[in-house]
Amino acid sequence: MVNYKDLGLVNTREMFKRAVAGGYAIPAFNFNTMEQMQAIVMAAVETKSPVIMQVSKGARNYANASILRYMAEGAVAYAKELGCAHPEIVLHLDHGDSFELCKDCIDMGFSSVMIDGSHLPYEENVALAKKVVDYAHQFDVTVEAELGVLAGVEDEVSAAESHYTKPEEVIDFATRTGCDSLAISIGTSHGAHKFTPEQCTLVNGVLVPPPLAFDILAEIEKKLPGFPIVLHGSSSVPMDEVNTINQFGGHLEAAIGIPEEQLRKAAKSAVCKINIDSDSRLAMTAAIRKHLAEHPGDFDPRQYLKPARENMKKMYIHKIVNVLGSDGKLAQ
């Protein structure tokens, strides 16, 4: 049993309070590799931003749970080496799907966990989230739970709307579970194909997706004033990265994300955690494809992972400064 405080990590409580009051959002970036972790830390240090480094079940399977935990501990040391005396780094479990997985992460030093019971019947979601909260709070670990189901690209817009978070449920859910933050569904979805071209409108040659359901967000805020809200599926799928991938041998068709101005607007509300994973994957893949196409003789991974790391760092800094507004928001 390791407590996250001994690893120099922090939970989300204070940073969310400041973010909600200050009208900005904390970046939650997924990591699976050392290069992603380094790029996240470099970006957070350069911008003086708090940051959530999140690990999915898939990341644990890919990289090994212990290795990722030690990497997060290393991230704190690395941030200090880069000149940040008091880094605010959260190690968060993304989409935990069972009490056992959440407990395992808490016991190995995570400072925050998500229990995702959003696909379960309401009462089962409440019971599971409460069980995780009761365990986590003994160790001052914060818990994110989810109400409403994120749409997949195959959904019709009407079907997606039927999965939106129901504002009339949020008070009961937050009160009975005791969760510290709530992930909601207002039109975002996971991956690089969030909308079909048919769901979008063509404006000046650009496909513009339907706007997020800000009316639902406003209703939720009215029911739970100041309560920390989380947006998953918030990659914007930058066209320049998609074009680079396609130019250098990739084949990504109809990749469409959430426009950044929509996220900027959300960050100014009670949305205080914005999850971004796919944009990192795109930035990494674009840089690697370009490098290998232009340097066909290279075979040392450092030759192509270095520009990949640089490109991810650039993207993370852009999100922090130009989209989420968490730059300069360290407590000290």
The residue ranges that bind ligand G3H (CB under 6 A) are 30, 56, 58-59, 94-95, 190, 277
- 115: Cβ contacts below 8 Å, ≥ 6 apart: 96, 99, 102, 128, 129, 132, 143, 144, 145
Q: How many residues bind ligand 13P (CB under 6 A)?
A: 14
| CB closer to ligand 13P, 60 vs 95 | 95
- The Cα–Cα gap between 14 and 93 comes to 18
Residue 59 site contact among Zn ion, ligand 13P, ligand G3H, none (CB < 5 to 8 Å, cut-off depends on kind): ligand G3H
C-alpha distances in Å from residue 283, one per residue of 69, 229, 237, 275: 24, 27, 9, 16
Which residues from 26-85 bind ligand 13P, rule CB under 6 A?
A: 30
Residues in the chain: 332
- The Cα–Cα gap between 72 and 8 comes to 9
- At 85, which amino acid appears? A
Min CB(46)–Zn ion separation in Å: 26
Active-site residue flag, 140:
no
Q: Of the listed 94, 155, 180, 279, which one is catalytic?
A: 94
By the rule CB under 5 A, 232 interacts with Zn ion:
yes
Backbone angles phi, psi at 202, to 5 degrees: -85, 115
Q: What is the DSSP-derived secondary structure letter of residue 144?
A: E
| CB closer to Zn ion, 7 vs 52 | 52
Min CB(95)–Zn ion separation in Å: 6
Which residues from 98-137 bind Zn ion, rule CB under 5 A?
A: none
By the rule CB under 6 A, 102 interacts with ligand 13P:
no
Min CB(292)–Zn ion separation in Å: 30
Active-site residue set: 94
